[in-house]
């Protein structure tokens, strides 16, 4: 169990971007990617957004949200939001790194913060924000049983595609659809930790994952920036 964690820690630290992208002039948000070891395998904890929420009700996501003035950095934001949403105490998270950010449909710069939590963690969902909490084996995001791509238009107007996974959860006796930025982060996390080719196409050069993931993000950011300029 420790060796699984230790291998993952070493891999993740190679990909830690720290505050490299924090200076970009976009509103900020963070998500926590909570990893745990169950039955000798890495698992990832995910939440389902409450149906009461205005934005993306019922969608699967990681605990997280917008940065607030009290937050020192992206890690603070992710830990605060995880506590508010699922009752995860910040001191119960072993934070490992920050990975390359993404840009959501509201044009927030979203930083994924990766941390280990105990497999005994019992979520206490805040009903106003979260309707369900579940875990998925991390390997599912490189070797899924049910996968497709969805076409979408980026915020800068390009036609692209996104990952979409359907995960059958036997514990909940239900299927969860994991797509968009959440799926994007989960796939990248799995690529980083396992270092093997997935059974589907990805946006990266897998032999140069660090540089290609940063280039992919900067291209996304540049196209958004160009569009903002042309709209002025």
For the chain, the domains span 4-231
Once rounded to an integer, what is the mean pLDDT over residues 203-221? 94
pLDDT of residue 156: 64
Q: Looking at the domain that runs over 4-231, which CATH code has it been given?
A: 3.90.79.10
Average pLDDT over residues 73-90: 98
**If pLDDT is split at 50, 70 and 90, which confidence band does 46 have?**
very high
Q: How far apart are the first and last CA of the chain?
A: 54
Whether the per-residue pLDDT at 226 is higher than 80: the answer is: no
Would the pLDDT of 232 be above 60? Answer: no
Mean pLDDT, rounded, of the chain: 93
Closest by Cα among 103, 108, 109, 65 to 83: 65
Beta strands in the chain (DSSP E): 28-38, 41-49, 60-61, 64-66, 94-98, 102-103, 109-116, 130-137, 147-153, 159-169, 174-179
Share of the chain above pLDDT 90, in %: 82
The residue to which tokens 């699967």 are assigned = 60
Q: Is pLDDT at 110 greater than 90 in this prediction?
A: yes
Say what the pLDDT of residue 68 is: 97
Q: For position 206, what pLDDT does the model report?
A: 95
Q: Is the pLDDT of residue 211 over 60?
A: yes
Whether 41 has a pLDDT exceeding 80, the answer reads yes
């Amino acid at each position: 169990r420790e060796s699984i964690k230790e291998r993952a820690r070493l891999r993740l630290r190679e990909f830690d971007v720290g505050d490299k992208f924090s200076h970009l002039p976009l509103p900020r948000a963070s998500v926590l990617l909570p990893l745990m070891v169950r039955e000798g395998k890495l698992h990832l904890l995910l939440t389902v957004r409450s149906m009461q929420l205005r934005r993306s009700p019922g969608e699967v996501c990681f605990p997280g949200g917008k940065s607030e003035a009290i937050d020192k950095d992206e890690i603070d934001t992710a830990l605060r939001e995880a506590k508010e949403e699922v009752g995860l105490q910040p001191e119960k998270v072993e934070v490992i790194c920050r990975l390359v950010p993404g840009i959501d449909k509201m044009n927030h710069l979203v930083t994924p913060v990766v941390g280990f939590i105990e497999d005994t963690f019992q979520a206490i969902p805040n009903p106003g924000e979260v309707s369900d909490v579940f875990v998925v084996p991390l390997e599912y995001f490189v070797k899924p049983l049910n996968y497709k791509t969805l076409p979408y238009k980026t915020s800068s107007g390009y036609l692209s595609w996104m990952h979409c996974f359907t995960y059958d959860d036997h514990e909940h006796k239900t299927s969860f659809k994991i797509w968009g930025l959440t799926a994007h982060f989960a796939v990248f996390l799995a690529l980083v930790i396992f270092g093997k080719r997935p059974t589907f196409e990805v946006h990266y050069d897998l032999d140069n994952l660090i540089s290609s993931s940063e280039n992919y993000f900067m291209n996304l950011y540049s196209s958004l920036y160009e569009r903002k300029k042309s709209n002025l």
